[in-house]
Structure 1
Amino acid sequence: MNFDITEEQKMMMETARQIGERFGLEYWRQKDGAKEYPHEVWQAICDAGIAGMMVPEVHGGLGLGLIDLALCIEELCKGGAGSTLSQMFMLNPVFGGVALALYGSDAMKRELLPGLCDGSMTFSMALTEPDAGTNSLGMKTQATRVDGGWSISGQKIWITGVAASKKMLVVARTTPLQDGVKKTHGISLFMIDTDREGVSHTEIDKLGTNTLPSSVVYLDRAYASDDEVIGTVDGGWPELLDILNCERIVTTAGLVGAGALALRLAVDYARERKVFNGRPIGSYQGLQFPLAQQWAELEAARLLNLKAASNFDRNLPFGSESNAAKLIASQAASAAAEQSMQVMGGMGYSKEFHAERLWRDARLFRFAPVSEEMILNYISTVNLGLPRSY
């Protein structure tokens, strides 16, 4: 087992660090306040080759692995973005890149992957539904056979980045639930145009991650051709899980970076702020110990996440590692952001000191893209062998 970072990875991480710092705290504070999509930083990421890091060279990418991408995401988020920037990697290199690379046709790859690399093609994924929530197998969105393709109708909710996307990965039932047939049967994936007739969306007013709007998506007999099916008709559930577990890894990488940023802000403030005896408040163990605890938890999540990414790159099972890493990282990053606010006292409540934005954004990831409770359910049944409770 080798924990060394290669020279090539160090160079990539340094590039990511420079981009992260160029679009630093003030850039993200302004974008958050204006609720503006961060086009500039994403284009810089694409220009540096990071967006296409996992895309095969024949399609314009670097042909590298998920572990390389995770290391870069950490550095990008650490520079000032916090956890919300990792969502852009969910949308594009995962929902677009991983889905296409693993299960897309050769024609799809030739058409879409070069645009992912250069920033001209953007993606979103429509999975979650109002009545199903975490129970994705209970989805009601139906794709019905029509001449030459499919007619898709249903409603999705909390779909991120819809307005800025050109393609949407839609998850639907192509075969209704039937008694005696596994619920996992009958799920299919489609890659369709976001602006297609029959697709509409309405933005949700929310607490944080304001630079990436989330929407309710309505599908009213939206057409998808047979050529737009991703993977296997009716057999898309295990293929979807591969995509979602990669989503966990980029989420965790962003949370590790966000947690490190929150700790840095707290430490810098605690070193300078002096009260009572003229000593910096960072000398008090009451402030030191929570920060030290969160550092340890973030480091543990980071190592477990890199193991998950390494397993993915080597075609080994990675679901347990990716889920557990996300569980730890989401709790630690959220706690680190809140503790950073606590260290700053009243100033932690001020937007000028940035910690409140990191807290608002990180809090989302304790229940998205998968909740703590569902991860614990997964660990209980898969890793501990306990009976299902749901």
Structure 2
Amino acid sequence: MGEIPVMDFELSDEQRLIRSQVRDLCDEFGDEYWREKDLKHEYPTAFFEAFADGGWCGITIPESYGGQGYGVQEASLVQQEIARSGAGMAGTSITAHHTFSTEPLVAFADEEHKERYLPDIADGSVQVCTGVTEPNAGTDTSRIETVAEREGDEYVINGQKIWTSKAQEADVIMLLTRTEPRAESDRFGGLTLFFTEFSRDMDGVEVSEIPKAGRGASDSNEVWFNDVRIPAADRIGEEGSGFRYLLRFANTERIAIASNAVGVGQAAIEKAAAYAGERVVFGNPIGSYQAVQHPLADSWAKLEQDELMIRKAAWLYDTDRDCGAEANAVKLRASEDSLEACERAIRAHGGMGYASEYDVERYWRETMINVIAPISNEMVKNYIAEHVLGLPKSY
């Protein structure tokens, strides 16, 4: 029996260096930068280029394909620091697709497929998006209707995706399709996953941006495919096994969401504490009043606990252990705690919390997405009830 790895709550010197380097990079793009991008709905090109130049696009891609070969633990640190810097969910959204959407490609694609895409993803020369959610297939992925029909050495794609982030900029897409009709006996059978070239300018592709409450600097889109031809060689693994491959991405995505949420919440509490220490009402800093300081202290403690659970979930994943319960649980807790922290930060600012110049309203708008996506917290509770507590399926 081999030696069992021991979980260490202390970050390694290398992990602390990663956190420090990302923090230094983000310091060049402060709240004013992200506030402007949010208000103007502009893609943060300069930030992405700096992120790519630093080698961070390939943090989880193996070194043999030009990446850094780190695990989800290190990737989660990067995401948390980006969010905490004031970039919020906009900053993490434009970078997470490189870090996490490549997991099925790395784990299940053949060698030629990896060589075709991973080096360019690792150096940031291409932009990545993910096409999974559909108007009739959000929470229930088995309802995917986008069809991939085999014709010789190609597949012909027809259908619609929704909430596809970065489709305006993307050069490649991880795309979930149906290659066989849905059957009640095997609801997730017949789903096939591709990683292939994509552009809004491709023949048969139409992209329309969705106006939304937050993440103004990161576009979300509806995408239509009308007889779009892609190489059969861009299929990941076996036809009909796409849902199984997608599950590898799902757990890392939940860990990423939790990391983003904790970072945004920490940014909000830091802003609120600084304001409460300076703002004087009735002759005293408002931070001296327990009605102000207790909620902020409570949120700080909750976010610290959430970060510890992120470390555990990422450790489980990186050591090839089952982390489904932990990844779902930390997504649940971190998203709720972040939303609460951002609301408390707004309240601590009083009327100025509603003003764009203090940024906490932007944090609040951005972190709301973590409660409802990529899966709602109600569905997370269903998962825990059924798969952890052994209770009957409720839906």
Q: Counterparts in 2 of 1:30-69, with a 5 A limit?
A: 30-69=36-75
CA contact (8 A) 1:121 1:165 kept: yes
Q: Counterparts in 2 of 1:148-227, with a 5 A limit?
A: 148-179=153-184, 181-195=185-199, 196-227=202-233
CA contact (8 A) 1:21 1:80 kept: no
Q: Taking structure 2 as the reference length, what is the TM-score of the superposition? A: 0.95
1:361 aligns with 2:366: yes
What per-residue deviation string (whole Å, max 9, x for no partner) do you get for residues 311-364 of structure 1? 111111111111111111111111111111111111111101011110110111
The CA deviation at 1:140 is: 1.3
DSSP 3-state at the match of 1:15: helix
Q: Counterparts in 2 of 1:104-143, with a 5 A limit?
A: 104-143=109-148
Task: Give the match for residue 4 of structure 2.
Answer: none
CA contact (8 A) 2:179 2:190 kept: yes
Q: State the one-letter code of the partner of 1:239.
A: Y
Identify the range of structure 1 (101-110 vs 368-377) with the bigger mean alpha-carbon deviation: 101-110
Q: What's the % identity of the aligned pairs?
A: 36
Task: Give the match for residue 239 of structure 1.
Answer: 245
DSSP 3-state at the match of 1:163: coil
Q: State the one-letter code of the partner of 2:332.
A: L
DSSP 3-state at the match of 1:190: strand
Distance in structure 2 (CA, Å) of the matches to 1:344 and 1:222: 51
Q: Counterparts in 2 of 1:372-387, with a 5 A limit?
A: 372-387=377-392
DSSP 3-state at the match of 2:79: helix
Number of aligned residue pairs: 387
Q: State the one-letter code of the partner of 1:233.
A: E
What per-residue deviation string (whole Å, max 9, x for no partner) do you get for residues 97-116 of structure 1? 21221122212222221212
Distance in structure 2 (CA, Å) of the matches to 1:383 and 1:162: 36
Distance in structure 1 (CA, Å) of the matches to 2:281 and 2:194: 59
CA RMSD of aligned residues (A): 1.3
4+ runs deviating over 4 angstroms: none
CA contact (8 A) 1:77 1:85 kept: yes
Distance in structure 1 (CA, Å) of the matches to 2:11 and 2:197: 39
Structure 1: segments with no counterpart, 5+ residues: none
Task: Give the match for residue 251 of structure 1.
Answer: 257
Distance in structure 1 (CA, Å) of the matches to 2:8 and 2:183: 48
Distance in structure 1 (CA, Å) of the matches to 2:150 and 2:57: 35
The CA deviation at 1:86 is: 2.0
Q: Counterparts in 2 of 1:72-87, with a 5 A limit?
A: 72-87=78-93
Q: 1:304 aligns with which of 295, 309, 314?
A: 309
The CA deviation at 1:178 is: 2.6
Distance in structure 2 (CA, Å) of the matches to 1:156 and 1:8: 39
Distance in structure 2 (CA, Å) of the matches to 1:230 and 1:378: 27
Distance in structure 1 (CA, Å) of the matches to 2:376 and 2:86: 25
Q: State the one-letter code of the partner of 1:57.
A: E
CA contact (8 A) 2:9 2:311 kept: no
Change in Cα spacing, 1:250 to 1:89, as seen in structure 2 (3 Å) is: farther
Identify the range of structure 1 (258-267 vs 213-222) with the bigger mean alpha-carbon deviation: 213-222
